[in-house]
Amino acid sequence: MEIRIALLPGDGIGPEIITEAVKVLDRVAARFGHRIIYTRALVGAAAIDATGDPYPEETHRICQASDAVLFGAIGDPKYDNDPTSKVRPEQGLLRMRKSLGLFANLRPVSLFEALTDRSPLRPEVVRGTDFICVRELTGGIYFGRPQGRDEGGRRAFDTCTYTVEEIDRVLQVAFRLAMTRRRRLTVVDKANVLETSRLWRERAQLMAAQYPEVTVEYMFVDNAAMQIIRQPTHFDVIVTENMFGDILTDEASVISGSLGMLSSASVGAEVALFEPIHGSYPQAAGRNIANPMATILSAAMLLEHLGLEAEGRAVREAVNTALAAGVVTEDLVREGGRSYSTSEVGDYVAAHVWAPLFGRSTSEQPNVRTVRV
C-alpha cells in the first residue's frame, strides 16, 4: 500500500518528536510491506519566520494532496511575549482546522498499566480508565465574531456562536463512535446558563432517538470536570463544544501521568490530522529530552484511520514494551530508574515494531539500532 503523509513538524519540540514518529512509521512500512511518501511543510512560527504566514497556501495544498497529516506542535515564546503582534503561530492551527474542515477532535484517554504509579490519582481510581473525548473544533468562542476591545481598550469581548449544522455533525461522530465502544455517551454543556449549550442539548436529545442502543447522559461542564478526576472509569465517550473540550481534555491528560502520552485525531470533511495534545515545550527544544510517545501513538491512530489495524496495534504493542522496560524520557522515570533521550525512546519503540514478526530479540535484526535497558 502506498501512503502519502504530510509532515508538519511546527515549532519547539515538534521537529524532534516528528522525527521519532517517522522512525517508527518507517519500521511499520518495512514490516508490513507499505511505501510511505512524506512531504514536509511549514506551519506556525516556523512558517511565519519563512513566509510571514502561519499557514501558507503551499502547506494547505500539501495537506489536501495527502492521505493524512502528522503534526507536531505550534507556539513560540517570542510571539507569546508580544501581545501587539497581529500574526501569531496559533492562528495557523485554527486556520488549518477550518480550511481542512477538521470539525471533530478525538482524544483517547487511557492508562497504560506500566504507568499506574505515575498518575497523581490513586491506582484504584484510575485503573481501567478508557474513554475518548470528542471535541468540536471549528466553532464556539474561539471563532465567534464579533471579537475585540472597545472603550479605549478597557473592555474586551468574545462571542460564542454555534449553528445546528455545526453541532449535529460532531454529535454524529460521537454517537457513531459510541456504537463501536460501550454504547455510553456523555454530553457536556452548561445548559443552565448558556444559550449555545441549550441548543447543544436540544440537538443531542433529538439525535439520541436515532441511536436507541446508546445510553445518553447530560452533564454540566463543572460537574464533568470533577467526575473525570473522581471517577474516570465512569466515562466511555464524551462530546462537548470547543472551549469546554479544550479544557477537559487537558485536565484528563493527567490521568495517564504525563501530557507526553496522549495522542489525538482531528477528522472532518477532508484529510484527517493526527497530533500529540501537548504544546511546543520551547524550553526543551533541541535538548533531546521531550517525550515522543504521544506523537508515536498519534501515528498509530493515523494507521488505524487508514484501515491498517494490525499496523497500529504493532505500534501500540511496541510502546507498551518500552513502558514496561522503563525506556522512557525524564517525565516518566520511576524512582531508581534512568531517563532516556527522545531519540533513544524512538529507537527502542521502532526496534520493537519488528520483534513480534521475527520472534527474536531486536539485537538479532539487521539495520535496527537497539537501546540497552
Known catalytic residues are 142, 190, 222, 246, 250
- Residue 176 and residue 63: Cα distance in Å, rounded? 26
Say how far apart CA 76 and CA 279 lie, in whole Å: 10
Q: How far is CA 92 from CA 88, 155, 161, 257, 296, in A?
A: 8, 26, 21, 29, 23
Residue 336, exposed/middle/buried by CB under 10 A (0-12, 13-18, 19+)? exposed
Q: What type of residue sits at position 99?
A: S
C-alpha dihedral, 266 to 297 to 58 to 84, nearest 10°: 70
Strand 102-110 relative to strand 130-136: parallel, antiparallel, unpaired?
antiparallel
**What is d(CA 117, CA 256) in angstroms, rounded to the nearest whole number?**
10
Residue partners of 363: CB distance under 8 A and separation at least 6: 370
Cα torsion 142, 147, 150, 153: sign: positive
Q: How far is it, in rounded angstroms, from Cα 325 to Cα 347?
A: 14
Torsion angle in degrees (nearest 10) through CA of 201, 204, 209, 211: -150
- Rounded Cα distance between 163 and 152, Å, is 32
One-letter amino acid at 353 equals V
Question: Is the separation of the CB atoms in 342 and 17 below 8 Å?
Answer: yes
CB 12 within 8 A of CB 75: yes
For 25, the grid coordinates are 512509521
Cis ω before 146 (30° cut-off from 0): yes
Q: How far apart are CA 199 and CA 186, in angstroms?
A: 16
